Each structure stands twice: as C-alpha cells, then as structure tokens.
Chains A and B, each alone.
Chain A
Amino acid sequence: MPGMPNVYIKPAQHVQTAPSLELTDVTVFYGATPALDGITARLHTGDQVAVVGPNGAGKSTLFNVIAGITRPQRGTVRIYGSGPAGHICVGYVPQRNRMDMRFPVTVHDVVMMGRVGKMGLFRWPGRDDRRQVDAALEQVGMTSLAKRQIGELSGGQQQRVFLARALAQEAELLLLDEPLTGLDMPSQQAILTILDDLRGQGITTLVATHDLNEAAEQFPLMWLLNRRMIAQGTPAEVLTPEHLALAYGSQIHVAHGADGELYFTDTCCDGGRPPVADVLRGEHAPAVLAPEELR
C-alpha cells in the first residue's frame, strides 16, 4: 500500500516555488540572554551556506529552530512556504561526539531510520524503503560497509552514514553541525564531494563550522553569526575586517604584512582558545586567512 501518510502529523503545504528557507526576525531567549536576536535570511533551492561565528554565537540554536526542535519567542521560520512543524523534509547530521557508537545498529539500520517518518505506524520497511536506503548508501560510497556495526567505522565513514540517513529521509533542507571537525583530509574531501553532488539534487544545505578557511574555500555563501546576523553573502563580502571584528571582538587579530592582510582567529576549540600572542609567535597552528584566497 504505497502513499500511506505519516499518521502523527498533518503534513505541511510544500510550495516548491517558495524560498527553501525564509527566516524573519527569529529571536530566541535562554532566560534573559538572547541566544539569537532578530535573524532574517532567505535561501533558495540548492543553496549551500556555511554558518560561521565564534563559540556560543547561536549556530546550534539556529539549527534547532530551523529543525523545529526549538520554538523561537519571536519571528517566523518558513520552509517552502510553511512553518517547520509539519515538515519531515528537514534532515540533520548530528555532531558525532553526541552519539553512542556502541549502540547495536548496523550502517544499514542507521540509514533505514531516516525512512521511519515516511513509513508510518505499524509498518515495516517495504521495497521502496530498501531501495531508498541502498541508493543513499551508494551515493556516499558506503554500500560495502552496510552490514558493519556503526561503531566499527572511522569518524569520516560515520559522518557519511549520517549523511546517507538524511538522503534516505528525502531531506530537502539539510543541516550539518561541524561535519568536518576531527576528520583527516581524505575524509573531509569525501564529505565535500558528496555535498557538491547535493547541490545538483536541489538540496539546500546549511553547514555550521568554526573554520573560516574551510567555509571560504568550500561554500559559495556565508552567514556570519554572533547572536545577530553580522553579515551574509559571498565569502568576499562577509569576511571584511569590520565584520570579523564585530563577530569575534578581541578573538580575532588582523596583521598587515607585505602580502596583504592576515586574519588570526581563536576559535579552535570549545573555550580553550590559545592566546593570540602564542599564535603570532608560532606556537599554535593558526587559522590563517589571506583576502586574496577568498576570490
């Protein structure tokens, strides 16, 4: 029996010509302090945007609002023309360190979880579900590892499996939280190649990252966030000294050298930022960004 609707929710109206994501004045308070303040932005089908900003800038909160997990106190979220609550087309790829990888599930099981929303209550996976799962595994190159337990995979492979889960979900709006953190270069490259494919499939993608270099090199659009939307546009438009100073304050330093300006940011790890002075002395590998690289 195909086309059995999800019994739990009233499906949302999905206007394909509407912006894939439209945020208007989105504001979230935790207690008295705003975590997000008046965020307004718009994305169209297939857009890929890197969401950057210092720790605590509200990147995770923004993703929770878009996914419909957190309700904003003010402002609206529209996904293809309607609020997030009725959509099961929002996929998200969690930070790996939040998951228990000893959990007894195979790669195939994890990807099949993406189908549960579409299957509906009291139903087992059908032929169509299995086909979607196989296709998703194929697309991320994980077919040969489908029978492995999730904890037996490397970090990069796990990340690809969670991407496949969102694909099997037939997500049209995809949220990735720090997908490249802690991965080696080949694994990062594999993920970025998959993200390139998604653009062609009309999947709108938001990637939260603390790495300005990576964001500028890999994504055509950027949102610079620090509770407020500091700047949005192409990396060249967003990464100006003024914007960076606004977003990072004293955490970023601009050095003028013979080859132009260099930006040093201290956003490496949660709270544990190496003093900028150490970075300038070369004791830590800095996040270095030269403006001409941005073009």
Chain B
Amino acid sequence: MEWLSWLTEPLSYGFMLRGMLAALMVGVICPIIGSYIILLGMSFFGDALAHTILPGVVLAFLFDWPLVIGALIFGILTPVIVGLLTQGGEVREDTAIGIVFAGSFALGVAMISTLDSYAVDLTHILFGDVLGVGRTDLIATFALGALVLLTVAAFYKEFLVLSFDPTLAVVLRLPAGFLRYLLLILIGVTVVVSLQTVGVALVLAMLITPAAAAQLLTRRLPTMMAVAAAIGVLSNVIGLYLSFYLNIASGPAMVLTATGIFLLVFIFAPERGVLWRRLARRQTAATPAPVGS
C-alpha cells in the first residue's frame, strides 16, 4: 500500500488539499469553455483576455481584495471595450483585441513594478500559485465555477447554434448579440477563476489543449466537453503530484501534462490520429484496384 500513501501524503498538507480542489474545478470548467473557444476559432481572444485582466489582479493585490473581484471587473470590461472599438467598423476586431490586450498588460506590469516584491509577485501572477490558494479563494473558485457550469447548461442549445452557424441564430431570431456577449463574459470569468492555478501566461493552455485533444476523440459536443473535462482534471492532478515530488512549478507542470496528453491523442487517436490515417492510407494503397473499373 505504499503507492496509496504516495498519493495521500501530499494531501495531508492543507495548502496541497486546497490547491488540489482548486485544480479540479479549473480542470473541469476551462476545457468546457475552451471547447467553445476552439470551435469559434477564438484562441487569440482567450489569450488576450487572460492578459487584459492583469491590472485588475494587481489592484486586488494592492488593496487586499479577493483576487477574483479585481480580475472580474477587467474580465467583463474587456469584451465591452473591444465591442465599443469595433462598433463603427473602422477597426478590425483582432486589431482592437491586440491593442486592449497589450495596453492593459503593460499597465498591470507597470503597477507591479512599483512593489518591492516585484519579481516574486510577477512570477505568481504570470505562472500561477496554486499552493497559495486560501479559503476565500477556494470558495470563490467553486461559486464562480458552478455559475459558469449552470450558465452553459441553461444556454446549451443556443450556444450550440451560435457556434455552429451564427446565421441560423439570426434566422431563428435568437438574441445573437446578447448570446455572444454572454459567451465572452463566461470566457472572462473562467480565465479569472483559473488565474491563481495556472497564471495569466498559461491559462490559454488550460482552455484549449484538453478541448483540442477531446475534439479528436469525439463526434458530439456534449461528449467532447466531458472528455475535455476529464483530460483537464487528469492533467491538473498529475501536474500537481509532479510538482510536489519533482519540485517543478505547479502551473507549468499541469500545462506540460496536458500538452503531453494532446500529443498522444494527436498521434494515436482512432480514425483521426496521425498513425491511424497513415495506416489507412497504406491499406488503400495496398489493396489492388478492382478489375475493369
């Protein structure tokens, strides 16, 4: 039973248990929201959003608010500002996102640089500090995570139409604009919730890597989301143990695990994996062409 204590021993520390619980919630919601991100081709937006909330995080840090509050303000503000900049049609959306993204990231770093503990704080914010998750942080993570999951469940069929065929959403007279904003805000909230676990710089990986692997394994959105969440949870748990025993930073450990799983799926996935397609091609090449066709 040595392996059992190998698994349970880390959890006897309060900070590891809290970290594990936070990592589990993040492992579930990130890939579910990430599924929409990759289907809508919005990876750039997700990454940008993660960077734009930096000033909010720093503000919360300075005034000792819960991190979530500060980040949430900027997380919701970003889609609104991008929407305002692109409204007249003079500025392309990806350009507007780039401007807002870089500008507020610079603002955040400038604010941190005024602190004495500059280097340590910046590292935690950029790459996560799952072991520093406090009790209130954990409660906020679970409350917001539950809110995200409930919203996805409530608007599931509308989001499906919007992401598969936006024109159909308009023809069916669904409130397409409202749904789009709602989805952007959900992405914002998810990024905020994940911030402490994987950090600003790596949250994109938590969003899209498990979802991308799941898309290669499934053919329906609900199963894609379930598989993605399973991969997310697995990566975070494995990553956290790796972090504990090998003394690697926790955020990168989780992301590297997810990346490893993605690569395995990319190569070995039935039907859509590289290996499978190569074998299938060889098989058709080896079969002699039917006579007389």
Contacts and interface: CB of A to CB of B under 8 A. Distances in A.
Interface in B155-171: 157-158, 160-161, 163-165, 167-168, 170-171
Given A104-B215, A113-B168, A8 B221 contact: no
Nearest to B221: A104
A178 interface: no
B173 A9 contact: yes
A69 B173 CA distance: 10
B154 interface: yes
B164 A103 contact: yes
Contacts of A110: 164
Given A103-B39, A104-B215, A104-B224, A69 B164 contact: no
Interface residues of A, number: 35
A34 to B, nearest CB: 19
Contacts of A117: 171-174
B154 A105 contact: no
B158 A116 contact: yes
Contacts of B158: 116, 121
B220 A104 contact: yes
Most B CB within 10 A of own CB, among A8, A87, A104 = A104
A122 B160 CA distance: 14
Contact of A8 (B157, B168, B173, B215): B173
A87 B170 CA distance: 11
A84 to B, nearest CB: 9
A169 interface: yes
Contacts of A9: 173
B243 interface: no
B86 interface: no
B167 A92 contact: yes
Given A105-B221, A106-B219, A119-B157, A68 B171 contact: yes
Contacts, number: 81
Interface in A72-118: 85-88, 90-92, 94, 99-100, 102-106, 109-110, 113-114, 116-117
B154 A122 contact: yes
Interface in B269-285: none
A266 B39 CA distance: 37
A85 B170 CA distance: 10
B219 A149 contact: yes
Interface string A112-134: 01101101011011000000000
Contact of B219 (A85, A104, A116, A122): A104
22 contacts: A8-B174, A9-B173, A67-B171, A68-B170, A68-B171, A69-B171, A88-B172, A92-B167, A99-B165, A104-B219, A104-B220, A104-B221, A104-B223, A105-B221, A106-B220, A110-B164, A113-B168, A114-B172, A116-B157, A116-B160, A116-B172, A117-B174
Given A68-B171, A94-B168, A100-B39, 8 more contacts: A8-B174, A67-B170, A69-B170, A92-B171, A105-B220, A106-B220, A113-B157, A125-B157
Interface of B: 39, 154, 157-158, 160-161, 163-165, 167-168, 170-175, 215, 218-221, 223-224
